[in-house]
Amino acid sequence: MIQLDSGNVLLKPSQRRQITTWLKRAVKYGQRLGDFVLNLTIHRVGKRCEVRADVRCEGQTFTFHQRATDWRHAMQQMVQMLVARLHSQWVFRAAA
- pLDDT, tens digit, for every residue of 55-71? 998 888 999 999 999 99
* Number of separate domains in the chain: 1
pLDDT given for residue 61 in this prediction: 92
Provide the 8-state DSSP code for 78. H
- Domain containing 37: what range? 2-95
pLDDT given for residue 66 in this prediction: 92
The model carries a pTM of 0.86
Cα gap 22→25, rounded to integer Å: 7
Name the band, by pLDDT with cuts 50, 70 and 90, for residue 34.
confident
Euclidean distance between the first and final Cα of the chain, in Å? 26
User: Which CATH number is 58's domain given?
Assistant: 3.30.160.100
Cα gap 39→19, rounded to integer Å: 13
Mean pLDDT calculated for residue range 79-87: 93
